[in-house]
Each structure stands twice: as structure tokens, then as C-alpha cells.
Structure 1
Amino acid sequence: MATFFTEFITWETDSEPGSDITLFVRHSGAFFRICYVAGLLAESTALLEQHRESYTILSNDNPDGFVEEVERLRKPFEDFMAQLVPNPPMDTAGYLHSYLYPPYFILEAKGTASGDLQPHFREALSRQKFDPPGEYTDGASKLQIHLRPLLDMKFDTCSSRQVKVQTYTDHLVPSQVCVNGAVYFFKPWPSRQAFSYHQLDVCAKMLADTEPARISCVHSLVIDNDDDVLQHYSIDPNDDEEICVGTRLVGLLLTYIENKGTLSALAPWSDCTNEDRSRWARQVRQSVEHLHRAGIVWGDAKPENVLIDIQGDTWLIDFGGSYTQGWVDKENQETVEGDLQGLQRIENWLVKCSQRPVDRRT
């Protein structure tokens, strides 16, 4: 697992080359915002020119060199970030609360006349500037109406302090978690956007459906209280901005599927048999038919949304709606017709995999 992981990077697309570049990085339980600002590099002609070159590489549609450039921009800050993390660092196998609400530091790149780049600490975020994950479940949120159908269901709830993280992805995101001895998959709830009504409808129908099926279902909601969440962030006495408080939905606990990988990752290889592919096609069709009998639409039918468990059986995942071009046509998204179209294309793709397998993996 990576020690440093750059979650995303932004730049000012409407500005001339040489405008601001910002990296968002996780390391040892802390979150860092690294700011490259042209004005702070102006002391060095060489650094300013390199900054312009970085902007050109990142804003170019050609992905060649993108990853390498992101790593180059992060590298000068790695030792500095290691000095700023909590001492001792947060337990990377700790609770979900530590992942969702890490210490948050803002760093800047400054240039010197000698051409050196110096990492600089600007500030640690205060309560007024911290943007907690998830979405308010009460009147504080303009989007709260989208949550009401989900919150009215009879799901169990827990706080992130009760959710023990057992494994992380390579991107340092919690995946396998445990609550009271039960194992789940954690799916974050998105911030600042209304989650799909399609997902809410699916949650309700899955809850009422008692027929066994290999489908990733919602088991519990992770809801936190801001008074507890924000206790780690100091109040800036010079900032008059109102502090919102309330409860926030920060994630879902879904069926955990111990798996070998997705259908898209496994089916093309020559060490997968044609019998496997035929069985997977049959199982996916049976699962889709089961969904439709229960009044549920899968919504984004494609091989990437089929997991193969360790017994070699298929599970359908990702019921957030939408569609993927090439598998479901836009006009059929989130419909039974779209599911059937995607299902037929998955079956056709599996037949092609059987006819033209690639070389065996090493």
C-alpha cells in the first residue's frame, strides 16, 4: 500500500499557463493540500518556468507524463508532510472516524533566488473552513429532501467511531470494515450533491425483498454528529462565518463480497475456462431477472459491476444508476430495457472472450 497517495489534483483551466496547481494528498492519517502558486515561485526563473511546464503537462489531453508529473510535484513535500502528521501517526488500521476527519494542513511551494523550492506551512484548517464529508440529514441541508426516502427506511445506523477498518484499497480508502463482529464494505456518501433517487428506490426494494440473491445490499447507514466530528478543529475567533451543526450521512455499509476481481478483469484471460464464462453469463442473467421480479433496475449493467467471489460465483454491485456508453445506451439508462440491453452485450462479450482468449497471465 502506498505511503503517500494523491487523491486528486486541480488547476485553473480558465487561466494562462502558470496559474495555480493544487494537490490533495493523504499520508499517515493526515490530509494535505499542496499549493503551487506562480507568484510564490517568482524569485526563481527556473522554478517559474518549470511551473509553466507542469501546467502544460497536466492540462494536456494526452495522459502521457501526467502521473509522473504529479509525483514530481509531490516529492519535495514528502519529508515535510511526514514531520506534520500526528505523533504517533494515526493507526492506519483504526476506525472510520480517523479516515473521514483527519488533521488537515495547507502547504505552499515557495521559490528562492538560488533556485531552491522550499515547502512552507500555511495553516491547519479551523472549524469554519473544514468541509466534513457526506450530507446533512436535517434542515441544514438544501439537499435533505433527497435523503428523506432513505432515512425513513428501517436500516440500522451507527457512527463512524463504531466502524473498525480492516483493510484499505491501494488508494488508502477503507474497503472492508467491521461493526459488532459483522463484516461489510464501506461506500462513502458523496458531498454537496443529491444522491440518485434511483439508489434510494433500489435500497427500499432490496430491503423488502426476501428472496436470496447474490446482490450487494445496504445493511446500515453511517451517520455522524457534527458536534463530535468538529471537536478536533479549533474555532477561528476572527471568522464570523456561521458554523453548521447537525447530523450527517457519511456512508453506507454494504454486503462484503470476498472476491477474485471483476468480470471485466477475469473473463478475458486464458486461464478462465469457457465453462466459467458460460456459468457467469447464466448467473448474471438469473440475478438480473431476480431484480426485475422485485421491481429493481440494476441501472449500470457492465462487466465492471460484476464481482466474482472466491467460490467463482457472480455478484451484481453498484446500484447507483446512470449508464456506461458501449454497454447501455443513454436513452435506456435506469430502465428494464437498459438492463436487458446491457445483459445481452455482456453475454456477447463473454462469447467473444471464449473465442479469442488472450495469453495466460504470468
Structure 2
Amino acid sequence: MPASTSQASSSAGIDPFQNMSHTVIDSHIELDSSWVTVMCRATRFHITVSHKDIRRSHFDTEYSEMVAKAMDDDDEEDHDVLCEWIVDPCLPYFRENTSNVPKEITFKDFYYPPTHHLQLLGTRDRGTMNAFRLMIPSRDLPPFSEIPRSKASDLRIVSDTQWDDYMSEIPQKAILSDGTSRFFKPADDKKQLLREVDMHMRIRHAGLQDKIKVANLHSIVVSDDAKMTIGLLLDLIPSTGDSLYSHKNSALASEYHARWKQQITATVKHLHSHGLIWGDVHPGNVVIDTSFNAWVVDFGGGSIVEFVPRKKAGTKAGDWHGVRKIFDEWLLEKEN
């Protein structure tokens, strides 16, 4: 999208952001998830808003209506309005993190700027929206001393020769210095990260790593100074990226239904025998590899009520309810 420039303003009193202009240099608008990349004082801010994060908040209807207008917008005015709606809650963060930028900058300063990743989260009980970085201060987490660390500068993002989305979206894969690829899970939720790491440590201590189809945790990704935790590196399951959602009511589902059910059942039995709960049981957390084997992924917690009732979430009964729902009902349902 064409760049647009704005000057922050205030309707009353002294404007705390006076003379702090910002330019939207790129954006992508969809109902499920939108992002805006902004330059402000030789600093780049990549702001993401996910519909699921504001679905039950004060901003749900407003966001949905603005997206609909922006996507039907020929002159791009509504698009620009939505971009500024996304940017506005982040202006205090812009000022806080650009106060020491020198007035004289080089081309290098502009074209290779420091980048901050922000995510908008709606607050259900208050009419406010705040920006949160997609990282967690390492001091806010346990030491996890037995888990190795990987420095962000030692990891390459998988590039694409035809598309440049990989430069704007949170990466899903990382390439190590030896060329090995790993799956990257971002640290965008402290509670989920804590449960994910704890589960993998307990799986390791129970000696289950080579007995169940679960991607092993290899390291925690941190900033070069280790002050920020960025995410986790896990085994990259050899697959086309397909979960069971891609196989519903398919010929493969009919052919491999019994195998997939047996494999997931075996994994859940092993977990339960050591007091471990999968938790978030749904088709998106069952990955099918290139040999048509079924793997369990995501131990961050949470649940989807279509597959695990709220009262059973986080229990063994909830796991089995989800497995039965997937394989005895959902997978072979006929599409309307």
C-alpha cells in the first residue's frame, strides 16, 4: 500500500506527541489478522491486531466494520483510517522508545532501523487498548537452566524468492548456523510459554522423547544480551504444514483414520501415565507428516469448546473427550 504520513495530535491541552510524525510504510488488512508497519524517528514498529484477541472486547464491532470498509475502499481513505486506528494506541510507546534518536541520521540508520514488534490486545472490562511487545523479559521467567539458549543473531529467517511476507510476519521456522531448520514458536504469551517449557521438560525427565510423536524442545531463543525471551525452537516435523483441518472428509482421512487415531491415542496414554495433560486438543494441534503419521503439538494450554468442554479443560477426561470428538465424529463428518 502507498505510504501515508501522519502527525500525532491532541484535542485538548499540550500535545505530548507534538512534532512526532510517523509514516505507514506497509500494511495488510484482513478480518482474522491485520498488520501495519510504521516508521517513526528512524525506528520501525510492526503492529499486529488479531480478531481473536479482541473478539469479546469493546473493539470487536468497531474493528470488524472498519475492516469491511477498508477492503471495499477504492480511494483508500477507509484503509488509512483503519491503519491510524491501529497505530493510535501505540503512540505513547513510540515516544518512549524514540526519545534518544539523534537528529542527524544516515541512510543506514533509516534503511536498517531498530524494529519493535507490538500486538494490540482488547481489554474486555475497560474501554482501553494497549500495545504489548511480542517478547517476554527474561527476568520474568524461571531460569530453565537445563534448556540451551539460542541467540537471535545466530538464527536466520527462512526467505522466499517470490514473496516478501517473511520480512513482515512472525517467522515460523529458523535456520541454525549449521543449516538445520527448526520450528519457531513465539513467546507471545507468558502463561503458555511457561506451560510449554514445563511440559517438554517433564516429557524429557519421563524418558518419553523417543517413545511418542511429539516435537522435542531444543532451545529458548533470546536477544543477544539475553534480556528478552523471544520464543522456542522445536523439532521441525517433516510435513507440508498440514494439520488435520486440511484432511477433514478427505480420501486420506478415510485411508489413515485408524492409524492416526491409534497414534494419537498412544501418545495421550503415554502422557497420562506420567501425569501429563495435553490440554488443547483440537484438529489444528494434530500435524500429519510426510509419511502420514500423526503428531501431537502445542502444550501451551487453553482449549476450544467445540472439542473440549470448559469444565473438562486441562484434565485427562478433557483429553479423551477431545480425541473422541476428533476421530469418532469430526474427521469424517460430511460437509454441508
Give the TM-score, by structure 2 length.
0.61
Question: Which of the residues 156, 160, 164 maps onto 1:164?
Answer: 156
Question: CA separation in 2, counterparts of 1:172 and 1:332?
Answer: 34
SS in 1 for 2:332: helix
**Which is higher, the Rg of structure 1 or of structure 2?**
1
Bigger relative CO (Cα 8 Å, ≥ 6 apart): 1
3-state DSSP of counterpart to 1:177: strand
CA distance in 1, matches of 2:298, 2:73: 30
Is 1:102 aligned with 2:115?
yes
Question: Structure 1 residues 194 and 277, CA, compared in 2 at 3 Å: closer, same or farther?
Answer: closer
Paired residue type of 1:173: I
Structure 1 residue corresponding to 2:301, chosen from 314, 317, 321? 321
State which of 68, 71, 89 in structure 2 corresponds to 1:68: 71
1:331 is aligned to 311
Measured after TM superposition, the shift of residue 86 of structure 1 is: 6.6
Q: Aligned partners of 2:237, 2:73: CA distance in 1, in Å?
A: 33
CA distance in 1, matches of 2:73, 2:222: 34
Instruction: Check the 8 A contact 2:218/2:235 in 1, yes or no.
Output: yes
Whether contact under 8 Å (1:277, 1:350) holds in the other structure is: no
Contact 1:176/1:184, CA 8 A, preserved across alignment: yes
Superposed displacement of residue 259, structure 1 = 1.8
Letter in 1 for 2:275: G
Q: Which amino acid aligns with 1:31?
A: F
Alpha-carbon distance in 2 for matches of 1:207, 1:334 = 20
Of 263, 267, 270, the residue aligned with 2:244 is 263
Contact 2:264-2:296 within 8 A present in 1 as well: yes
**Cross-structure match for 2:135:** 134
* Aligned counterpart, 2:324: 344
Aligned position for 2:217: 218
Q: CA deviation at 1:294?
A: 3.4
Instruction: Give the percent of matched residue pairs that are identical in Structure 1 and Structure 2.
Output: 19
Q: Residues of 2 paired with 1:320 and 1:104: CA distance?
A: 21
Q: Does 1:300 align with 2:313?
A: no
Alignment partner, residue 184 of structure 1: 182
The equivalences for 1:223-302 within 5 A come to 223-225=222-224, 247-260=227-240, 261-269=242-250, 271-302=251-282
- Distance in 2 (alpha carbons) for counterparts of 1:6 and 1:199: 30
Q: 2 CA distance for matches of 1:57 and 1:343?
A: 32
Amino acid at match of 2:299: F
Letter in 2 for 1:180: S
TM-score (normalised: structure 1):
0.57
Question: 1:272 is aligned with what amino acid?
Answer: L
Tell me the distance in 2 between the aligned counterparts of 1:286 and 1:167.
37
Q: Deviations over 1:115-135 (max 9, x none)?
A: xxxxxxxxxxxxxxx975422
Q: How far apart are 1:172 and its partner, in Å?
A: 2.2
Contact 2:286/2:295 (<8 A) preserved: yes
In structure 2, the CA distance between the partners of 1:103 and 1:155, relative to structure 1 (3 Å rule), is closer
Native 8 Å contact 1:267 1:277 kept in 2 = no
The count of aligned residue pairs is: 252
Offset at residue 136 of structure 1 (A): 1.8
Q: Which of 36, 52, 57 is the aligned partner of 1:25?
A: 36
The code of the aligned residue for 2:188 comes to: P
Distance apart, 1:209 and its partner CA = 3.8
CA contact (8 A) 1:327 1:342 kept: yes
Equivalent position SS for 1:345:
helix
List gaps (5 residues or longer) in structure 2. Answer: 1-24, 49-58, 84-106, 119-130
Q: Give the secondary structure class of the aligned counterpart of 1:158.
A: strand
1:199 aligns with 2:196: yes
1:349 Cα shift?
Answer: 2.4
Which residue of the partner structure matches residue 125 of structure 1?
none
Q: Deviations over 1:30-66 (max 9, x none)?
A: 53569xxxxxxxxxxxxxxxxxxxxx99617679826
* In structure 1, C-alpha distance between the alignment counterparts of 2:313 and 2:60, rounded to whole Å: 35
- 1:292–1:70 CA distance, 2 compared to 1 (3 A): farther
